[in-house]
Structure 1
Amino acid sequence: MAMKIRLARGGSKKRPHYAIVASDSRMPRDGRFLEKLGTYNPLLAKDSEDRVKMNMERVQYWLAQGAQPTDRVARFLEAAGAMPKTERANMKKAEPGAKAKKRAEEKAAKAAKTEE
């Protein structure tokens, strides 16, 4: 059974509240889970202690059982010191889109013309 430690969404529209859960990876996001490991409230301030709460003993247990954390949960665990920090680089994100590239080329061509 492929286990994941992930977020299950709760709360009303535009007022999210998440539970950090251990579940089978084949189950739906808000579906059946084996154990609730903590909570995450993104509406609280980033420096608030109540923003992310986790039962670290149980998280360590599930990690030892082979559960894989999702990207967001992995960041929480890195911040808590339970996992080593990993290098993340999304090179495509910093690259401008096709329209922006075309505008930059046109602007450079126009500037080159005015210099002549």
Structure 2
Amino acid sequence: MAVRMRLTRVGSKKNPIYRVVVADSRSPRDGRFIEIVGRYNPQTDPSTIDLDADKVKDWLAKGAQPSDPVARLIKAAGIEG
């Protein structure tokens, strides 16, 4: 099973807010996930990046692959994997 850390969209129409989730790579974008590890709100100034560092490090150690946007969020949050 290929596990990925990726964004799933929540929020209302034209008001995107994202959850950072750990999910099977075969599941749909807003579908089933394993665990929520953070959230990201691009609407605020500056953007809100709220990640649980312990959970992120744990999943990276287990072999979860972050998507490109999530990798940028992890780097911006200053979390070392």
- TM-score normalised to structure 1 length: 0.66
Is 1:38–1:55's contact at 8 Å kept on the other side of the alignment?
Answer: yes
How many residues align? The count is 81
> Highest CA radius of gyration, 1 or 2?
1
Q: Give 1:102's aligned residue.
A: none
Give the partner amino acid of 2:75. E
Deviations 1:20-76 (A, max 9, x none): 000000000000000000111110012x5xx11010100000000110101111001
Q: Where does the alignment leave 5 or more consecutive residues of structure 2 unmatched?
A: none
Is the strand fraction higher in 1 or 2? Answer: 2
* CA-based RMSD: 1.3
SS at match of 1:62: helix
Q: SS state of the match for residue 11, structure 2?
A: strand
Alignment of 1:92-111 (within 5 A): none
Identity %: 52
- Give 1 or 2: higher helix fraction: 1
- Could you say which structure has the greater relative contact order, defined with CA pairs below 8 angstroms and 6 or more residues apart? 2
Unaligned ranges ≥5, structure 1:
85-116
Letter of the 1:15 counterpart = N
TM-score (norm. length: structure 2): 0.93
Tell me if structure 2 keeps the 8 A contact 1:22–1:35: yes
